[in-house]
Amino acid sequence: MISSRTSSLRSEAFLWLLVLFLGLKAESSPIFDALKGQVGGDFHYKHYNDEGQVLWLIGGENPTFGADMKVTIQKPRLVIVQASGNALLTSKLATYDTTKRSCTLTGNVRVKNFSDASFEGDDLSVRLDDRSLNFYSPFEARQGPLSLKAQEGRYFSEGQRFQTEGKTQVEYLP
């Protein structure tokens, strides 16, 4: 009985979250977002651009919906749809903040084919507003013959800008 009641509360919380989230988006942004999931099952979130193309697809298993507009996903997988192809982001755990529109990934974070680059680290924040990847701990990146190691860094998909902080090492190996 306790388990059933907990599940019911979670479902209500999720429905409330969904309604509130979509309501906020309709008022504040021309970009249409779609959030779909079920407690104890799969979860996915789609983020569209003005032309109706899917820019981001965040998916995973066993979502937990918090009242603070956060969705924690186990075994998360994120796909970024871009003109150049699909990027794949994986990690052990992801927390998607619907208000900040950012997704924090922790544990063995792997990013492949993001603007022809690949990244590895332990903590990554994906921001949907400026389409950036933010590493707050040591990470490695590769793009073609270039490889990079740094203590912190961020990559902006817009303009393909990249910056690091602290000790940084770049190698060009043709």
Residues making contact with another protein (CB under 8 A) = 115, 143, 150, 152-153, 159-174
| Closest approach of another protein to the CB of residue 120, in Å | 18
Nearest to 167 by CA among 146, 144, 142, 137: 137
Q: Could you tell me if 72 and 66 are in contact, meaning their C-beta atoms sit under 8 angstroms apart?
A: yes
Among residues 102 and 151, whose Cβ is nearest to another protein? Answer: 151
Between 52 and 174, name the residue whose CB sits nearer to another protein: 174
Q: How far, in Å, CA of 83 to CA of 108, rounded?
A: 27
C-beta of 159: minimal distance to another protein in Å?
A: 6
What minimum distance in Å lies between the beta carbon of 85 and another protein? 16
Provide the minimum distance between the beta carbon of 153 and another protein in the complex, in angstroms, as a whole number: 8
Fill in the amino acid letter for 52.
Answer: G
Which tokens go with 117? Answer: 């680059």
* Residue with Cβ nearer another protein (95 or 147): 147
| Terminal C-alpha separation, the chain | 63
The torsion angles phi and psi of 17, rounded to 5 degrees, stand at -60, -45
Question: What angle (nearest 5°) sits at the alpha carbon of residue 50, between those of residues 118 and 70?
Answer: 60
- β-pairing verdict for 102-114 and 132-135: unpaired
Nearer to another protein, 40 or 144 (CB): 144
| Nearest residue (CB) to another protein, 72 versus 143 | 143
The span from the CA of 21 to the CA of 133, in Å, is 23
Give, as one character, the DSSP assignment of residue 101.
Answer: T
CB of 174 to another protein, least distance (A): 7
